Structure 1
């Protein structure tokens, strides 16, 4: 049975960074956003986190051979059809019901379970990490009998998320030819509510879910990783966290990480980072997000912001 640590939440909430740090721990293998593997990698042959094209990456080549007898044997059109049929946010109420384990749901989940099992075997890992984020996919995976699913629900202040979605970010895997999707603050606020509520529903359906606040994780990544490794069932030794270093920046104490080459299939451009990575708390939104947009996002997301322990009024924090 594949042991899977699924990182969930709305995009731009810090899941890629959490995944990269978890992937440095022994016994854990970070796979990136597997939900995009079928199109961006199997079909479009974009770049793996190691820098190679997917078709040239030794790790993913071995995974494909082990899981399917080669990636050419995967019916990507069938995967897309199943995704449209079962893995959409609008399907979550149905997926959460007791009668959701249809043949299509199980077939769709089986594509993922085969990738997870093969990746764990090739990497010699106890746990694989999928940072797909999509709440609907997590609801699908809970119906797979051959997946031991544990979910890390990553939450970031909705206003920081909204600001991040407005920024232009190039996709390195396309050599700068494409940009990542952008949303208006109002749109991202609605998505923030929907996706985070969906993970709360998943927990009520018996799936082990551990919620973390991104800002708190960044403040003490060592303690955060220890807690997440314990949640994943992976024992750590003190030296396993030596890749984290204390770092002084201006008048503040912070941390940095030394990252090895990874094999993230898709995701944030940070998946290509190798070597020294400062772990900075990104609060640029407090100054850069217009006050009218801060108020809009705060109003739309107010109840859940309060539930997660975030302040509603941040206007006084701006210079």
Structure 2
């Protein structure tokens, strides 16, 4: 059995940052968003977090050899087809049922077997006790709960939905694509509805018996040493008497990683400041802030966020 820390939540909530920090811990290997590995890496040969093309990355070449005897386009297409058939938000009610229908169970078993092989191979190659998959998708976590050889432990990452909404409106390039490709953007109303759906799904997963540890992004960046130690214990790793040396007074010292897909910050190395990105307080228009707050109100209080917000003034001369 392989132990997997699955970072779940809606995108732009800080999962890549948390994965990068956790990946610096002894015994933990961060893999990035494995759900996107099949298309972006195996088929499109985008860049690994280490900077190399996926096909030339020594780590992933060894993982592919250990898991499948080498990466294969036909396998990637098969897994992508299975994902489209079973791993979608609309299938969550069926995946949450006490039992799966026979035909569905076979597809889920085949789909999760591919992930199991990657997790096992990565743990072997890295000499790790725990692997971190920051795929975020609740639907993938619901599939993985049926894989008996995966010790699934979910770190549910939550961020203020107004900060998430602002992040989804910004234009960002995908440097791994080596071109002008941009990351997906959503209007505030859509991101608010997605925030509700994704976060509520992890609450259901917890009620179904999957271990879930909830982390607020804002608390993580404010108290990283405490948050990291709590996650270490949740992962079943032995406690440490002192904070990790790579955590500095104001940030973290990050080495090279092999995140297969994810936010562009996976390419950063060296000293990285850990601070709460709350630019949304000044930059997200008041009507959008009120709309997002209203749409997410049922869950805001449950996660400790206030319904109302104070708009932070934009400094004189700052770009708008």
Shorter chain as denominator, the TM-score bin is over 0.9
Are the equivalent residues in 2 in contact too, given 1:79–1:108 (CA < 8 A)? yes
In terms of mean alpha carbon deviation, does 73-82 or 85-94 score higher? 73-82
For structure 2, the residue ranges without an aligned partner over 5 or more in a row are 314-320
List per-residue Cα deviations over 1:211-263 (Å, max 9, x = no partner): 111101111000000000000011243466110111xxxxxxxx211101000
SS at structure 1 position matched to 2:51: coil
Distance in 2 separating the partners of 1:148 and 1:169: 35
> In 2, Cα distance between the equivalents of 1:287 and 1:42?
40
Q: Where does structure 1 lack aligned partners over 5 or more consecutive residues? A: 247-254
Corresponding residue number in structure 2 for 1:251: none
Deviates more, 1:166-175 or 1:10-19: 166-175
Q: Residues 286-318 of structure 1, C-alpha deviation per residue, up to 9 Å, x if partnerless?
A: 11000000010000000101111100010x343
Question: Which whole-Å CA distance do the structure 2 matches of 1:317 and 1:20 have between them?
Answer: 30
Match of 1:265 among 255, 260, 264: 260
1:229 aligns to what? 232
**Alignment of structure 1 residues 48-67 onto 2, 5 Å:** 48-67=48-67
CA distance in 1, matches of 2:178, 2:211: 38
Q: Distance in 2 between matches of 1:67 and 1:238?
A: 36
Classify the secondary structure of the residue corresponding to 2:12: coil
Q: CA deviation at 1:177?
A: 2.1
Q: Aligned partners of 1:60 and 1:203: how far apart in 2?
A: 32
**Residue 160 of structure 1 corresponds to which residue in structure 2?**
163
Map 1:101-116 onto structure 2 (within 5 A). 102-116=105-119
126, 130, 134: which one aligns with 2:133 = 130
Cα distance in 1 between the residues matched to 2:285 and 2:200: 26
Which is further off, 26-35 or 230-239?
Answer: 230-239
CA distance in 2, matches of 1:118, 1:219: 34
Q: Pairwise mapping of residues 127-206 of structure 1 onto structure 2 (< 5 A)?
A: 127-206=130-209
* Alpha-carbon distance between aligned partners in 1 of 2:14 and 2:196, rounded to the nearest angstrom: 16
Alignment of 1:39-78 (within 5 A): 39-72=39-72, 75-78=75-78
Deviation at 1:73, TM superposition (A): 6.8
CA contact (8 A) 2:6 2:153 kept: yes
Cα deviation per residue 1:254-284 (whole Å; 9 max; x = unaligned)?
A: x211101000000000100111101111110
Identify which of 295, 312, 317 aligns with 1:318.
Answer: 312
Kept in 1: contact 2:4–2:133 (CA 8 A): yes
What do the CA deviations read for 1:159-185 (whole angstroms, capped 9, x no partner)? 000000000111010124211000000
What corresponds to 2:296 in structure 1?
Answer: 301
Offset, 1:194 = 0.3
Which shifted more, 51-60 or 229-238?
A: 229-238
- More moved, 86-95 vs 167-176: 167-176
- Residue 285 of structure 1 corresponds to 280
Length, aligned pairs only:
310
* Structure 2 counterpart SS, 1:75: helix
Secondary structure class of the residue paired with 2:276: coil
**Higher mean C-alpha deviation, range 233-242 or range 185-194:** 233-242
RMSD across aligned C-alpha pairs, in angstroms? 1.1
4+ long deviations beyond 4 Å: none
Kept in 1, the 8 Å contact 2:43–2:73? The answer is no
Aligned partners of 2:240 and 2:308: how far apart in 1?
A: 41
Q: Output one character per residue of 1:23-61: Cα deviation in whole Å (capped at 9) or x when no partner.
A: 000000000000000000000000000000000000000
Quote the Cα distance in structure 2 between the aligned partners of 1:214 and 1:72: 37
| Rounded Cα–Cα distance in structure 2 between residues aligned with 1:113 and 1:212 | 25
